[in-house]
Amino acid sequence: MMKNKIFKNSIATAILLFTVAGFSQNKSSNTVSLDVFYSKIQSEKKPQIIDARGPEEFALNHINGAINFNLESKDYAAQVAKLDKSKPVFTYSIGAGRSVWLADDLLKKGFKEAYSLEGGIANWIGNGKPFYANSKSKLTLAEYKKIIAENKDVLVDIGSIYCGACKKVKPVLETIKAQYGSNLKIVEIDLEDSPQVIADLKTVKVFPTLILYKDGKIVFKKEGLGDLKNDVDVALAVK
């Protein structure tokens, strides 16, 4: 399938995934918060912003002004050569994996400054920063609010089809659906389909983000899967 295309049949991919796994355990010192990342970009006349995701992901949505290349790019070295080593480089990915690798690699190559965005594109769009999307969101904020208002219990799953952690949520949601049926409304929002509603909510920092509403009020908001099934059972058991 297209969403897995860039992660198959490549020795470089295996190296990348190993490296990303390492960074997920040890946060790079070059990973900065959204506020710092945004502030530094704003201070540059022509900021060097690099989207470290795959080309399919980049085509669907990206930070305004960003260009796309990463370890998988055939012309990686040529792309790096076009950058100004004396100026900061700002990298991001779906979270902070591929972008961490890229920022660190640029520093090794002699760049003065390179920063990776904590939370990646999820954090950027999820907090309403300016971005490009190639299509209109399928779900609007007004429609979202209507769903919350018209259903007693609502579980919202916000993520991306390119997010590995988000894929682990899906079978858990199926188990929850089977147990609660029509008593629990489940809403799945993907970045690729509805980026604007994610931006309008201004509550997402990472993918996946899971929110449980009861009578229009938030019962819990989880960043990451955790023990979702148990958390839902406990929350809905409360009278």
Look up the CATH number of the domain holding residue 196: 3.40.30.10
- Provide the pairing of β-strand 114-117 with 209-214: unpaired
The amino acid occupying position 202 is: K
Say whether both 152 and 107 belong to one domain: no
Long-range contact set of residues 35-39: C-beta below 8 Å, sequence gap at least 24: 36/115, 37/90, 37/92, 37/115, 37/117, 37/118, 38/129
Say whether both 177 and 217 belong to one domain: yes
Please report the pLDDT score of residue 14 as a whole number: 37
Please report the pLDDT score of residue 3 as a whole number: 40
Look up the CATH number of the domain holding residue 56: 3.40.250.10
Please report the pLDDT score of residue 29 as a whole number: 80
- What letter would DSSP give residue 90? E
Q: How would you write the pLDDT of the chain (239 residues) with one tens digit per residue?
A: 444 444 444 434 333 433 343 333 345 689 999 999 999 999 999 999 999 999 999 999 999 999 999 888 999 999 999 999 999 999 999 987 899 999 999 999 999 999 999 999 999 999 999 999 999 999 999 999 999 999 999 999 999 999 999 999 999 999 999 999 999 999 999 999 999 999 999 999 999 999 999 999 999 999 999 999 999 999 999 64
Q: Which residues are catalytically annotated? A: 163, 166
Say whether both 114 and 146 belong to one domain: no
Among 83, 99, 133, identify where a domain stops.
133
Say whether both 10 and 58 belong to one domain: yes
For residue 58, the enclosing domain spans 2-133
Say whether both 214 and 128 belong to one domain: no
Overall domain count for the chain:
2
Please report the pLDDT score of residue 17 as a whole number: 37
% helix / strand / coil in the chain, to the nearest 5? 45, 20, 35
Say whether both 181 and 85 belong to one domain: no
- Which ranges in 49-168 belong to alpha helices (H)? 55-60, 76-81, 98-108, 120-126, 141-150, 164-167
Among 113, 133, 153, identify where a domain stops.
133
What's the whole-model pTM score?
0.85
Please report the pLDDT score of residue 28 as a whole number: 63
Say whether both 9 and 125 belong to one domain: yes
Say whether both 177 and 197 belong to one domain: yes
